[in-house]
Structure 1
Amino acid sequence: MSAPATAGQRSGGQLPLVFPALMLFAFFVVPFGLMIAVSFFERVQGGFYVPIFTTANYARFLSLFFGEVLLFSLALSAAVSAICLTVGAPFTYLLTRLSRRAQVPWLVAMLAVLSLSEVIIGFAWSTLLSRTAGISNLFAAIGLMDGPDSWSPSFGAVLAGMVYQALPYAVLVLYPSFSRLDPSLAEAARTLGASPVRSFLTVILPAMRTTLIATFIIVFVFALGAYLLPQLLGRPQHWTLSVLITDQAIYQSNMPFAAAMAVFLVIASLLLVLLTTVLGHKGKPA
């Protein structure tokens, strides 16, 4: 029977956690606290801001215009997450059914997309959807269209670019769970007469419910912070809340109002991450 750990041993085991805790406090807690404080300050015309407590910044954020921007950002993030799951779940399932050697090129391709910056992705999609050098020229050449057309800037272009950027994250989050999935589930469904599509929809997906929900939330949080792609591929009415935060902070010199919007965005992201953690614990066997 082992002897109980001494106080020195317990403190020595906790010592490696001190540095990450200090870094978290210095680079997240302190800046976030300052941002919350600034969000209650009052802007001074021709200046910066003064430390006078006011809730006017949050009241302005609840106006019709910014409410529409918030709803658009949430709807766009939800659409990106839904499309990534709709495409990523069957793709990941089929990928995990391949041999290890055949999976490597696909995983390398996913990582290659992740290595691209948002600027490169935005300009690549703007070129692909342009009138002069876009894919519409190919459609016109083979007779599917009367002539080339420009599909950017538009909401569809923003959605396509964000799905392209977020899909590898969804696949890589889903991959471990699909890899550990018991193959006998699908085999039993086929033995009972279910088609491959029906067995996937009625057996595989319900078994992966917790992972699918967690993936949806992770991609949602990722898309909620989109900044460059809405500007490069969309019009001003397609800009997200992150774009308006930058506009208020830099171009309008309204740091308190930008801080109020940023506080809401951070809190929304933290709540969704917390929800993901809770769902992950519920999905674990007791």
Structure 2
Amino acid sequence: MKDKLMPYVLLAPQILLTLLFMIGLVTGITQSLGVIPAFGLKKPTLLYYKEVLSRPDMMRSVLYSLRIALFSSVLATAGGVFFCGVCVMGKKTQVAVMRIIQLPIIVPHVVTALFIINIFSRNGILARAAYALGMIQEQQQFPMLIYDPHGIGIIMAYLWKEIPFIIYFVIALMANINGSLGEAATNLGAKTWTVFWRVTLPLCRNTIISGFLIIFVFALGAYELPLLLGATVPKALPVLAYQEYIHPDLRNRPYAMALNGIIIAISLISSLLYFLMMRKSVKCLTEEQ
């Protein structure tokens, strides 16, 4: 009897967390539709979504977050795949190399933001070095790379975190493919980088896209880096949602939930794409067997 109950006992924490997550998700979606009985709002409506998508300030925040998430994810994926290729082609996939690659992944995002501020701000290391070398007349002439409306500082921070993630996510599969099919192509006369572009990379495509979707969704919904490195205007979507949530006028709560609803909708679409790709990959493996 004890052995039969043990799996359920071990699953209890996961079940509890799942229930809490689902309760919060349903509550958020309900409130985004304007149903908050405690505030006298009882009728479901899409008015808050319409206002979010029509108000210039909120729409700028939506586009700002999408732009940062897209640029950082595309650049991180491209950079990660390139470095994966360099490591695999150069046979640099030893444990020591992997440990170095892991370092940025385990560093908290708040610490990453402090690194970026200390290096790239107008009072940072690069600005002081440029001033000391006579490249600029004063430190305020240094390009504004953080707190700027283009989100350059946020993108740099995400690149530092996400490129190692893509490498770690893809490199095992890439090394395995290169060690089997890649070597076969090399033995048939193909050059090293031809093997990478024609054999290894196409076979890693689904894994690379999966990694891109993961970091895209994370960058879209992350709060810390946009708060610490972002401009005052426009604000990133999660930052604006939090400000609407803590607004003194509690009738602004549905706006916060509508902003979160947009993040959830984009995340669900990305999750669906990820699921479809994984199912396709599993189906192909099953057919091969």
1:121 paired with 2:112, answer yes
User: Could you report, residue by residue, the CA deviation over 1:18-52 in whole angstroms, capped at 9, with x for unpaired residues?
Assistant: 626632442111111111222223689xxx83232
1:130 paired with 2:121, answer yes
Q: Of residues 153, 168, 193 in structure 1, which corresponds to 2:147? A: 153
Q: Of residues 260, 265, 282 in structure 2, which corresponds to 1:267? A: 265
Q: TM-score, normalised by structure 1?
A: 0.81
Q: Of residues 245, 251, 254 in structure 1, which corresponds to 2:247? A: 251
User: Which residue number corresponds to residue 78 of structure 1?
Assistant: 70
Give the conservation status (yes or no) of the 8 Å contact 2:230–2:236. no
Q: State the alpha-carbon separation in 1 of the partners of residues 208 and 226 from structure 2.
A: 26
Give the conservation status (yes or no) of the 8 Å contact 1:49–1:255. no
Query: Moved runs in structure 1, 4+ residues, more than 6 A?
Result: 11-14
Q: State the alpha-carbon separation in 1 of the partners of residues 6 and 110 from structure 2.
A: 43
Counting only pairs closer than 5 Å after superposition, residues 67-106 of structure 1 correspond to structure 2 as 67-96=59-88, 103-106=94-97
Which stretch shifts more, 55-64 or 131-140?
A: 131-140
1:67–1:142: structure 2 CA closer, same or farther, 3 Å change rule?
Answer: same
Give the conservation status (yes or no) of the 8 Å contact 1:41–1:49. no
Paired positions, count: 274
Unaligned runs of 5+ in 1: 1-7
1:61–1:140: structure 2 CA closer, same or farther, 3 Å change rule?
Answer: same
Q: Of residues 45, 48, 62 in structure 1, which corresponds to 2:53? A: 62
Q: State the alpha-carbon separation in 2 of the partners of residues 19 and 118 from structure 1.
A: 30
Q: Give the drift of 1:189.
A: 4.3
SS at match of 1:181: helix
User: Could you report, residue by residue, the CA deviation over 1:146-188 in whole angstroms, capped at 9, with x for unpaired residues?
Assistant: 3441532222212101211222322222133223224243344
Give the conservation status (yes or no) of the 8 Å contact 2:158–2:219. yes
SS at match of 2:107: coil
Q: Of residues 203, 206, 217 in structure 2, which corresponds to 1:207? A: 203
Q: Which has the higher helix share?
A: 2
Which stretch shifts more, 220-229 or 197-206?
A: 197-206
User: Which residue number corresponds to residue 4 of structure 1?
Assistant: none
User: Which residue number corresponds to residue 5 of structure 1?
Assistant: none
Q: Give the drift of 1:245.
A: 0.6
Q: Of residues 269, 275, 278 in structure 1, which corresponds to 2:276? A: 278
Give the conservation status (yes or no) of the 8 Å contact 1:96–1:103. no
Q: Of residues 12, 30, 37 in structure 2, which corresponds to 1:19? A: 12
User: Which residue number corresponds to residue 222 of structure 1?
Assistant: 218
Q: State the alpha-carbon separation in 2 of the partners of residues 121 and 18 from structure 1.
A: 34
User: Which residue number corresponds to residue 235 of structure 2?
Assistant: 239
Q: State the alpha-carbon separation in 2 of the partners of residues 42 and 208 from structure 1.
A: 45
Q: Give the drift of 1:141.
A: 4.8
CA RMSD across the alignment: 3.1
Give the conservation status (yes or no) of the 8 Å contact 1:166–1:222. no
Give the conservation status (yes or no) of the 8 Å contact 1:226–1:240. no
User: Which residue number corresponds to residue 163 of structure 2?
Assistant: 167
Amino acid in structure 1 at the alignment position of 2:247: Y
**Percent identity of paired positions between Structure 1 and Structure 2:** 25
Q: TM-score, normalised by structure 2?
A: 0.81
